[in-house]
Amino acid sequence: MLTETPDGLHCADGDFYIDPWAPVERAVITHAHGDHARPGSAAYLCARASVRLLRRRFGDDCVIEGLEYGDTRLIGGTRISFHPAGHVLGSAQVRLEGAGGVWVVSGDYKRAEDPTCAPFEPVTANTFITESTFGLPIYRWDRTDEVIADLMGWWDQNRAATMTSVLFCYTIGKAQRVLAELTRVTDRTVLAHGMMLPMIEVYREAGIHMLPVAPATERPRGASYAGELVLAPLSARGTPWMRRLGNHSDAFVSGLMRVRGVRRQRAFDRGFVLSDHADWPALLYTIAESGADRVLVTHGHAEPLARYLTEQGVESAVIRTAWEGEPTGD
Ligand SMILES: [Zn+2]
Ligand SMILES: [Zn+2]
């Protein structure tokens, strides 16, 4: 049904690629993160809720078609449908049904609740291709409300010390999830770096309830940011832009913050462990729920997860990824 090619996973029957790395004629996209949705393809097909995010990334001239979750489309002899993956707005598992049986490509997914996207929907398959960004037993997530309470405590502490709180997070998914989760504990306005604003706007247009957000740059030079919470992309860290924020504490919100060595190496004042990916237990029960008799593993810690599955008697193998950059949205 799907084969590995230099451009990515290819379905020969329907002549389309799933999350191709290079420009192709027809790209089927699981979600809008940069390591899955690459520019330059002639036509894109994705879940309806992903269309606006892709359009923001690729521009108005791009040919992008959206399918509602659960609707099917016949391409060649392959029936294709999208099902919620619970990762970010519009994220989808891709289900393919044809002569090769039923295949499900998970894309990135999580099982934790998230007010900014449709919850993961278990889909059964003969062959399940799962992500494994956090495919090691050390990765186990805390409850989201506890992480948000921690984050709020850090912000309040910085406010009391007249310091700015700078929270680094990914621009698609994590920023909006934090802004949505925070509505449960505060109604304060949050400031955001200019790079954050377009994607926050797309989420708001999609009806996602989030804290009010103001551009961090609109303040006159020399104005105080003391007590404010500022969301910024990691790429802004250490740039001159940071100087205007004055005396500040910085933090990163990511599943990567689970590992003490990473926290220390990256030298953030604080790390909040909140991930948009499945942790180790969630990967395992999702794989079990798929009912698949063959599991292919890709992205992140693919080898350890594939090895573990093989030891458990599940037919399993690794699919390599050509993506060389940092994963996004972890
Ligand atoms: Zn990814
Ligand atoms: Zn992703």
Cβ atoms of 290 and 122 closer than 8 Å: yes
- What spacing in Å lies between the alpha carbon of 305 and ligand 2's midpoint? 18
pLDDT of residue 328: 58
For residue range 98-148, list pLDDT tens digits in order: 999 999 999 999 999 999 999 999 999 999 999 999 999 999 999 999 999
pLDDT of residue 139: 97
Q: Which of 9, 327, 17 is nearest to 173 (CA)?
A: 327
- What spacing in Å lies between the alpha carbon of 191 and ligand 2's midpoint? 24
Cβ atoms of 195 and 235 closer than 8 Å: yes
| CA max distance for the chain | 65
pLDDT of residue 327: 56
Q: Which of 68, 92, 93, 95 is nearest to 81 (CA)?
A: 95
Cβ atoms of 82 and 93 closer than 8 Å: yes
Q: Is the dihedral of CA 156, 159, 163, 164 positive or negative?
A: positive
pLDDT of residue 325: 56
pLDDT of residue 263: 86
Parts of the chain with a pLDDT under 50: none
Strand order in the sheet with 78-84: 72-75, 78-84, 92-98, 101-105, 127-132, 294-300, 315-318
- Burial of 55 (C-beta count, 10 Å sphere; 0-12/13-18/19+): middle
For residue range 55-97, list pLDDT tens digits in order: 999 999 999 999 999 999 999 999 999 999 999 999 999 999 9
Other residues' Cβ atoms within 10 Å of the Cβ of residue 264:
10
Cβ atoms of 191 and 241 closer than 8 Å: no
Other residues' Cβ atoms within 10 Å of the Cβ of residue 303:
12
- Nearest-5° Cα angle at 217, 163 to 328: 85
- What spacing in Å lies between the alpha carbon of 248 and ligand 2's midpoint? 29
Ion ligand 1, residues whose Cβ is below 5 A away? 35, 108
In whole angstroms, what is the distance from residue 265 CA to residue 175 CA?
Answer: 23
pLDDT of residue 221: 74
Strand order in the sheet with 8-11: 3-5, 8-11, 16-18, 26-28, 43-47, 64-67
Exposure string for 245-260, b = 16+ CB within 10 A, e = fewer: beebbbbbbbbbbbee
Query: Which ligand is closest to the CA of 88, given by its number?
Result: 2
